[in-house]
Structure 1
């Protein structure tokens, strides 16, 4: 499986790397794994919905 870093995911999804870190730590990105201090996110992962915004 191919993985991307926080920086790559932030560019792809258009949000900050800190927000991606939050998503990963809360388990909102399926398949994301943490190795040492680096999050690895599957390249085919979808951006989680922003719960701060109402539909």
Structure 2
């Protein structure tokens, strides 16, 4: 299997290496492996959804009568 580094994934997914490190630590990137102090991410991995944001289909708490 081919792997990419946090920096490579950051450039491809357009998010910070710190956020990718968080996703790896939380187990949100399947197949990511830690070798010493470096995370290796499968090249075919997809960017995890940002759980901090609600999708368009979820109610924002507004109530309409």
When normalised by structure 2's length, the TM-score is 0.84
Aligned position for 1:18: 18
Q: Distance in 1 between matches of 2:13 and 2:53?
A: 16
**Corresponding residue pairs, total:** 55
Pair 1:8 & 2:8 matched: yes
Residue ranges of structure 1 left out of the alignment (5+ in a row): none
Runs of 4+ aligned structure 1 residues displaced above 2 Å come to none
After superposition, the CA RMSD in angstroms is 0.3
**Higher RCO (C-alpha 8 Å, min separation 6):** 1
Greater fraction helix: 1
Give the aligned partner of residue 31 of structure 1: 31
Q: Which runs of 5+ in 2 are unaligned?
A: 56-65
TM-score when normalising by structure 1: 0.99
